[in-house]
Amino acid sequence: MLLAGRGFGKTRVLSEMANYWATSGEYRRLAIVAATAADARDVMVEGESGILATAPTWCRPVYQTTRRRLQWPNGAIATLYSAEEPDRLRGPQHDAALCDELATWRDPSTWDMLQFGLRLGKSPRIVVATTPRPTKLVRQLLLREGQGLVVTRGTTYENRDNLALGFFEQIVSRYEGTRLGRQNCSPRF
């Protein structure tokens, strides 16, 4: 689990992980789950730090919009899911999953359905990236830290050199020290 503030680079980490898993051949069927279908497409696939932008030129996936999936030249496939539709995860099997902004998922049963579908391969894996919000699901997962769950925490400040100067001057400084600022800029609840 990557628990970090806005602008830390969570999307970039998920995108790099998807490309690494797919190009290595270790994982062949990936699930990409975001809060909404638009988030999966606009952020995870087509965004500035998305999978298409971070894919190596020698192994760039093709995005098949009508099928909600990416297919790499080596045959690896990633299917996009919206956390708003947990039943879409009934049936499909995966050997790895990438979950974006878990704390914003409105229906926690999406997490459960995803777990049931992780039944391929020798060692199914999930990488979760989320802005710190003390939702019930996030709190439950954090109880498993050190018991198969590795948590990496980070703040917006750690990626300052890659963010617009105005973001810090107007947004971060305005909310620094507030509840909203702590939630969106640091990994603490």
Q: Which domains does the chain have, with CATH numbers?
A: 2-185 (3.40.50.300)
What's the CA gap between 103 and 138, in Å, rounded?
A: 6
If we measure between CA atoms, which residue out of 62, 123, 67, 131 comes closest to residue 101?
131
Q: Give the 3-state secondary structure of residue 91.
A: coil
- Which of 42, 41, 64, 49 lies closest to 16, judged by CA? 49
pLDDT tens per residue, range 112-158: 999 999 999 888 999 999 988 888 998 888 888 888 887 777 776 66
**Mean local confidence (pLDDT), 152-166:** 66
Query: What radius of gyration, in Å, describes the C-alpha atoms of the chain?
Result: 16
- Using DSSP bridges, classify how beta strands 152-154 and 2-4 pair: parallel, antiparallel or unpaired: parallel
